[in-house]
Copies of this chain bind each other. A is one copy, B any other.
């Protein structure tokens, strides 16, 4: 099986997001995904090595685009403050724009086994590096304190945004997520800013 891209590849990824968001990770049989994608069960295996590969690919595709977008936007901003705000806004925005994807990334994909989790983390590394870049730039420009432990700061930024999104998902998207960006931004900026 050489991995192939193509229309069906996309169809299956989209179907997987939808089916997993709707039925939960452990109740998302390959046959269900195939049906939703409008292909035969066996066709899945022409595009993916196995079921787990669907999930990893899903995360790679979606997260890849996610990171790329943020990266592109960040390049345009000049001030650190705005860079941080933009990062938060876009993170929240992209997940708010796709409820199914939010459910999958915040809840369902975390039910996977450790091995899959590690592969997901591999993909996440790109995003974490982006965060590091902003922190380091902030320190360099004197906006953030030199004493900051970059690793801990990154864990704070990611941990905070992630927790905010997860709470929103578990509250079943009952409120506007992006609206929380300013509060989050203020807190994180405060945390890092030189006093």
**Taking beta carbons and an 8 Å cutoff, which residues of A are in contact with B?**
24-26, 107, 110-114, 117-118, 121, 147-149, 151-153, 155-156, 158-164, 167, 170, 180, 183-184, 186-188, 190-193, 195
Copies in the complex: 4
Q: Knowing A183-B149, A187-B152 touch, does A24 contact B158 (C-beta < 8 A)?
A: no
Nearest Cβ on chain B to A30's Cβ, whole angstroms:
15
**Could you say which residues of chain B place their CB within 8 Å of the CB of A151?**
167
Name the one of B111, B164, B192 contacting A110, with C-beta atoms under 8 angstroms: B111
Name the one of B110, B155, B163, B193 contacting A155, with C-beta atoms under 8 angstroms: B163
CA distance A190 to B188 in the complex (A): 9
> Which residue of chain B has its CB nearest to the CB of A115?
B24
> Which residue of chain B has its CB nearest to the CB of A170?
B121
> Which residue of chain B has its CB nearest to the CB of A184?
B152
CA distance A195 to B194 in the complex (A): 11
**Could you say which residues of chain B place their CB within 8 Å of the CB of A183?**
148-149, 152
Q: Knowing A117-B107, A190-B191, A191-B190 touch, does A160 contact B156 (C-beta < 8 A)?
A: yes
> Which residue of chain B has its CB nearest to the CB of A195?
B190
Name the one of B111, B153, B163 contacting A158, with C-beta atoms under 8 angstroms: B163
CA distance A107 to B167 in the complex (A): 18
Q: Are B164 and A155 in contact (CB under 8 A)?
A: yes
